[in-house]
Chain A
Amino acid sequence: MPDLERTLREVGNTLAYPELQSQASAALSRLERERRPGPRRRTVIVAVGAAVIALAAASLAVSAVRTAIFDWFGFAGEGIVVVDKLPTLDRPVDLRAGAGERMLLPVAQHRLPYAAPVPRLEDLGPPNAVYLREIETTAGPVFRVSLLWGKPGAYRLLFSATARTPALARQQSHIVRKKLGADFRIKPYTWTSVNGQRALWISVRHQYLYTAPSRGFAFRARPAARVLLWQTPRFAFRLEGSFELEEALRIGRSVG
């Protein structure tokens, strides 16, 4: 086809482009708000968990992380806030706080309206503790089951699965979906995949935010280890531990 190049140009000339809105004003507006990144800027991140994340941005806005940049990333029940400086924690909080009620795995499975997926690796052994958190939202309950290997103060692995129910989706719909100014320059995370699903690997020092059941919507923070986040159409997963990415991926791939 000798005229292929000419035809391609004709295709280019006759494409029906959609109505694309100018972004100049929005970009300039962001430039007014955002500072030019300095070379010495320290970047730390706070990973935000909990299904009631809709209120996280507002809570954080008045806390120590006023320079926070909230980014949703499309993960159910998880968001990322990038800050210049990690907030100082009042006191160490172990990871049982906010994890929910401790129970045996079969009991948790029985209480859940679905079969909760768990890591299935022989060398991992059974978890040392299982927690179930039922978070009441205006759209119904959101369940999160957490499996702990090790001790709360010195854990090897913490795995949690949150069902992507309509309640969770509705809760998230309250979030302003547009990024509030995600800083393109800051990449304290890397993208990877688990069984073909998009996954986020966070290996830098950060904190995990959660809602304390008895404290309304107040957020508390605890130091977090390395984290792998990913999700399937039905569940959002969080894997936390002092492992390398390869090990995290190996565990993640076994979840079923």
Chain B
Amino acid sequence: MVGRPRSETKLVRRAQAGDKVAFAELIEAHEKVALRLAWLLTGNPADAEDAVQNGLVKAFFALDRFRPEAQLRPWLLRIVANEAREGRRSKTRRARLAVRLSEQQPVGNAAPSPQAAVVAAEERDRVLTAVEQLSERDRSVIVCRYFLDLSEQETACVLSIRRGTVKSRCSRALERLRGLLEESNA
């Protein structure tokens, strides 16, 4: 995890004093990941946007309780995640990762052969299908750790659990995922 930029500290202080322009600058850096998190948790773009909007308003009003030594991104993401879960509960709708994979190759990989690319794409699709079958608890930790590439500490903050719990929950989620994939193989 990268440390908080010094400018962010200043912006936080200004926002805590009620400066909405500073708050706007703060959220600009984190809104994209917040929207993605909300979408992955709600499975619906409109609900995700609502969750982020409500979360941003809530974050502004809660800024005076934000600890200066804490990281802003996970704190903000936790508020958005809570809003997303609350919104979903209010609609009694089980979140599904109604997602699909894009055609693009994973970043950083050397261009594979066409056949290898097809195999890899099929594998990713199979994994995504298995993730959709996980419980919400398991899926949340997978989404944070792997899909959004949050650190264990950030994931702990977002999910309001201890760092050790992130490790154990992640381990169990991976185990269940392996089981599901083996079942699908069989």
Contacts and interface: CB of A to CB of B under 8 A. Distances in A.
Interface residues of A, number: 41
Given A4-B177, A191-B90, A24 B61 contact: no
A11 B49 contact: no
Given A16-B99, A24-B27, 9 more contacts: A11-B101, A11-B127, A13-B106, A14-B106, A14-B124, A15-B147, A27-B56, A28-B20, A36-B61
A27 B31 CA distance: 11
Nearest to B147: A12
Interface in B42-58: 45, 48-50, 52-54, 56-58
B56 A5 contact: no
A112 interface: no
Interface in B166-182: 174, 177-178, 181
Main secondary structure of the interface of B (DSSP, over half): helix
Contact of B127 (A4, A16, A19, A32): A4
Contacts of A197: 92
B60 A20 contact: no
The 3 A-B pairs at the shortest CB distance, nearest first, are namely A12-B147, A8-B146, A27-B56
Nearest to A2: B178
Interface string B96-109: 00011110111101
Contact of A37 (B50, B61, B102): B61
B69 interface: no
B128 interface: yes
A95 to B, nearest CB: 28
A31 B18 CA distance: 10
A21 B46 CA distance: 9
B149 interface: yes
Contacts, number: 118
B168 to A, nearest CB: 15
Given A24-B27, A34-B57, A184-B83, A10 B49 contact: no
Instruction: Name, among A14, A24, A32, A179, the residue most crowded by chain B CB atoms within 10 Å (CB to CB).
Output: A14
B56 A20 contact: no
B128 A11 contact: yes
Contacts of B49: 20-21, 23
A27 B60 contact: yes
Contact of B146 (A11, A20, A182, A185): A11
Contact of A23 (B52, B104, B128, B142): B52
Nearest to B64: A36
A85 to B, nearest CB: 21
A198 interface: yes
A166 interface: no
A8 B142 contact: yes
Given A7-B124, A8-B127, A9-B149, A16 B61 contact: no
A24 B30 CA distance: 11
A26 B46 CA distance: 14
A74 B93 CA distance: 13
A114 interface: no
A27 B146 contact: no
A79 to B, nearest CB: 14
A31 B127 contact: no
Given A4-B178, A8-B142, A30 B99 contact: no
A40 to B, nearest CB: 15
Interface in A67-89: 73-74
B57 A184 contact: yes
Interface string A197-208: 110000000000
15 contacts: A7-B123, A8-B142, A9-B146, A11-B128, A13-B106, A13-B107, A16-B102, A20-B48, A24-B27, A24-B28, A27-B57, A28-B24, A31-B57, A193-B92, A198-B91
A35 to B, nearest CB: 9
A196 B177 CA distance: 28
A178 to B, nearest CB: 8
Given A7-B127, A22-B31, A74-B90, A1 B142 contact: no
A182 B60 CA distance: 15
Contacts of A27: 27, 52-53, 56-57, 60
